[in-house]
Amino acid sequence: MLFLGYSALLSVPVSVAAATASSPQTPETAATAELPMPIRKLVAQHMTVVTSFKAEAGLAGWVLASEGRQVVAYTTSDGQHLIVGSLIDENGRNLTSVYASTYERRPDLTSSYRQLDSARYVTDGPVTSTHVIYVFFDPNCIFCNFAWKALRPYIQAGLQVRWIPVGFLKPTSSQRAVAILEAKEPTRALEINETGFVASAEEGGITSLSVAKPGTLSALTANRALMDAFGGHGTPTFVWKDSRGAIRTKSGMPPLSELATISGLPEQPQTDRSLDRFR
């Protein structure tokens, strides 16, 4: 077995180091007292044990959750050490991914998906397309800018993208989102923001609009709540239905090779050199 370390647990409010560091004592239930010490430390810092399972190599597997995020972790047989990472078997199979698919709790997204139609979004691509995806984005998000660039060939091939703006990265994020939504041609306004994106400053290219209609601000608040309902941990967050009609989500800029699966279209050539890091 091989472990490839990663920062999944560090992306939630509790770090791996916290599993062994001293922390304020909190009352324990009988069930909590039976947990391995590293897990008890995390529970004391407001992580939740979703489930446990028997893993390979004599390890105990755990699914832990915090603020809507889940991560697979392992404890050693002596119960004294916590390990977070990709567990790779002798055949090169990522067992952590298998365990995540099997044991992580999957919310019912049906109701949230129905709400997408009434969200304030910007339509990009053929209005009659049968291939439709939704992308939550922040106008100042550089990875959203990469996503906008990467999806251009797919839009040319017939994909419709419904861009749902949120504004939280910077004070100007919501102001730029307002400028896009309230523009006479929102699709053109989005294009201006993305083609004029200043990567060095991570700033969108459209001029901020400091005064907004009340309905627009309410829409942005609703958009953020909807992104949270899909478990979006940041932008961009993709939402789509796969070939079987199952609702899928992905937070972050995916590898370019995954865009065919997300769009439901054949993989398209990518000539933009700024996307090389995602190849």
Average pLDDT of each block of 10 consecutive residues along the chain (279 residues)?
46 35 40 84 90 94 85 94 91 87 84 95 97 98 98 98 97 97 98 98 96 94 94 91 93 94 97 95
Which domain CATH number covers 187? 3.40.30.10
- How many CB atoms sit inside 10 A of residue 233's CB? 15
Amino acid sitting at position 149: K
Q: How many domains are contained in the chain?
A: 2
- For residue 62, what are the domain limits? 2-103
In whole angstroms, what is the distance from residue 191 CA to residue 60 CA? 49
In whole angstroms, what is the distance from residue 85 CA to residue 139 CA? 32
Q: Do 130 and 86 have their domain in common?
A: no
Q: Do 220 and 274 have their domain in common?
A: yes
**The predicted structure's pLDDT at residue 67:** 72
**The predicted structure's pLDDT at residue 24:** 36
Q: Which of 103, 129, 154 is a domain's end point?
A: 103
38-75 residues labelled b (16+ CB within 10 A) or e (exposed):
bbbbbbbbebebeebeebeeebbbbbbbbeebbbbbbb
Q: Do 121 and 77 have their domain in common?
A: no
Which domain CATH number covers 61? 3.10.450.70
CA angle at 125 for the pair 200 and 117, rounded to the nearest 5°: 100
**The predicted structure's pLDDT at residue 58:** 94
**The predicted structure's pLDDT at residue 104:** 84
Q: Do 88 and 160 have their domain in common?
A: no
Q: Do 146 and 199 have their domain in common?
A: yes
Q: Do 126 and 239 have their domain in common?
A: yes
Q: Do 74 and 168 have their domain in common?
A: no
The pair phi, psi for residue 16, each rounded to 5°, is -60, -40
Amino acid sitting at position 200: S
Q: Which of 103, 125, 158 is a domain's end point?
A: 103
Q: Which of 73, 103, 133 is a domain's end point?
A: 103
**The predicted structure's pLDDT at residue 10:** 40
Question: Is the link from the previous residue into 236 a cis peptide, with omega within 30 of 0?
Answer: yes
Q: Is residue 8 a contact partner of residue 66, using CB atoms and an 8 Å limit? A: no
Q: Do 96 and 131 have their domain in common?
A: no
Q: Retrieve residue 229's tokens.
A: 């309902």
Q: Do 52 and 86 have their domain in common?
A: yes
Nearest to 152 by CA among 274, 273, 272: 272
In whole angstroms, what is the distance from residue 202 CA to residue 276 CA? 18
Q: Do 95 and 130 have their domain in common?
A: no
**The predicted structure's pLDDT at residue 91:** 86
User: Any bridge partners for residue 248, and if so which?
Assistant: 240
Q: Is residue 213 a contact partner of residue 183, using CB atoms and an 8 Å limit? A: no
Q: Do 70 and 131 have their domain in common?
A: no
Q: Do 115 and 226 have their domain in common?
A: yes
